[in-house]
Amino acid sequence: MDACVALNLAATGRPTDILATLTPQFAMARQAAEETLYIETVTAGIATQEVVNPRQWVAEGVLHILELEAAETLQFVTLAAEIDDGEAATLAIARAGGHEVATDDRKARRVAQRLELPEPIRTSRLLHDYCSAANLSERDIAEVLHATEQHARFRPPTNDPLHPWWTKAL
């Protein structure tokens, strides 16, 4: 998973539960983890930044942080000329190891397609699958999606297959 997806999951207030509920085990490239900085919280009109630390999820046993292997480094360097380091490392590791990718970044999704990787998983798919697996009530689903929109400023684009679900759930 890349930083944008990690921030979206953090914004829900339930990242550990989401990662623990969904399978398979989640992983992030170190570069992506380092790009996962903060989400924004607005209280009484005052914006504050809440630090997001993926290493906490590692300590909780729901995430692995991966380092680039020597064989992945050349691919990473090539990709980093086109996309951010976190996405470049994520795609290089996925390509070499046959892992799935989770990203909402449009450019990274196009590069993944060019590399003939399976279509990357989107935040909307992860949250949809989590809400279903956790058997959340309609109210709880709306709360999760609203928190994602509010704290991560994320809403799936209209061409996202789960955009109708998201919109209806709110």
d(CA 48, CA 117): 37
Closest Cα to residue 33, out of 60, 72, 6?
6
What is the residue type of 58?
Answer: V
Running DSSP on this structure, what letter comes out for residue 63? E
- Whether domain 1-165 has CATH 1.10.10: the reply is no
Answer whether residue 24 shows pLDDT above 80: no
What is the reported pLDDT for 23? 79
Q: Where are the domains of the chain?
A: 1-165
* Average pLDDT value for residue range 121-139: 98
Mean pLDDT of 77-93: 97
Whether 43 shows a pLDDT value over 90: the answer reads: no
pLDDT of residue 103 exceeding 90 = yes
